[in-house]
Amino acid sequence: MFKYILKRLLICIPVLITVVLIIFWMLNVLPGNPIEQMMGEKLKPDVVERLTEKWGLNDPWIVRFGRYIRDVFLHGDFGDSYKKNRPVIDLISESFPNTVKLAVSAALVAWLVGIPAGIVSAVKKNTIFDRLCMGFALCGISMPVFWAAMLLQFIFGYKLNLLPISGYTTWKHMILPAIVLGWSSSGSIARLTRSNLLEAMRNDYIRTARAKGLNEGGVIYKHALKNSMMPVVTTMAIQFAGLLSGATITETVFGIGGIGRLTVNALQTRDIPLLQGSIIFSTALIMIGNLVADIMYSFLDPRVRV
């Protein structure tokens, strides 16, 4: 297992470099000077020239890319933000805790709602419970996140005045964003749990367990559910990694200072170092999420270890 994890981590390095190369090239071939865009009407040619020289924007993009790769992978230096004039790593470190709180809250909602809903739908197949659960899941998957967010803000924040609609300072501020993101994720988990559980219940070992006199609850939870959870675990791990990398729309709508909102602000101001650092950080989290899912596979199914 240790060799496997080490091998996967080593494979992540060229993937990260490729991602950085693509992002770096795309951002640097766009027309215009990022400094000119930042300064807007306050544009002064001498200041632009001085900052362009200071940040090495006069150099060819391939030279800047090599310098950036050296700084990131050898020194852990993502550069300084053009707009905020602060180290990128500090800005990410300040925003990431808010994203973690949001991701954990949304994941708990998704898992606590999605898995039971999928199990009930599979056990009560083609009943009113199945249709209600799958209808709820379909709404979560189909409804745009920004629309669900504004709808809940209008109902629970504006009309009923029960919950705050922006900011992220108390536990009450976490409820609406967690429900919005959790509802979207729980729909996928519920549908996947249902389909895999129904498929598992058609296998011969399920009929054998029933023939031995095991009650239906034991058949489902001890045999069918465990063998149907591997794809669900993969989805859960990838979803959680995606949440950790920043729920851009949700953070923007609810005014949460997380990784997603930081990335949007960097894109709007064309703050290239901050945008590159945010995307690299998000990519690394997604790759770690895939690795964690593969490791969890081996505990759910010992055959994977072999």
DSSP state letters, 40-102: GGG--HHHHHHHHHHTTTTS-HHHHHHHHHHHHHHH----B-TTT-SBHHHHHHHHHHHHHHH
Residue-level pLDDT at 124: 85
SS3 state of residue 5: helix
Best CA proximity match to 294, nearest among 218, 234, 223: 234
pTM of the predicted protein model: 0.78
Residue spans of the chain under pLDDT 70? 1, 29-44, 245-246, 298-306
pLDDT of res. 39: 63
Q: Taking all residues of the chain, what is their mean pLDDT, rounded to a whole number?
A: 81
Residue 197 in tokens: 């559980």
Beta bridge partners of 87: 80
Rg of the chain over CA atoms, in angstroms?
24
Is the CB of residue 92 less than 8 Å from the CB of residue 273? Answer: no
17, two tokens: 């470099």
Q: What pLDDT is stored for residue 159 in this prediction? A: 86
Round to whole Å and give the CA distance between 13 and 183: 34
Query: What is the per-residue pLDDT for 41?
Result: 58
Q: Please state the separation of Cα 50 from the chain's center in Å.
A: 38
Local structure of residue 254 (DSSP, 8 states): T
* pLDDT given at position 246: 60
State how far the Cα of 70 lies from the Cα of 251, in Å rounded to an integer.
32
- In terms of Cα–Cα distance, which of 273, 281, 276 is closest to 35? 273
Interatomic CA distance for residues 102 and 5, integer angstroms: 28
Domain 89-304 architecture? Orthogonal Bundle (1.10)
* CA-based nearest residue to 141, from 114, 108, 116, 119: 114
> What gap in Å lies between CA 88 and CA 84, rounded to an integer?
9
Q: Are 139 and 113 a contacting pair, CB within 8 Å?
A: no
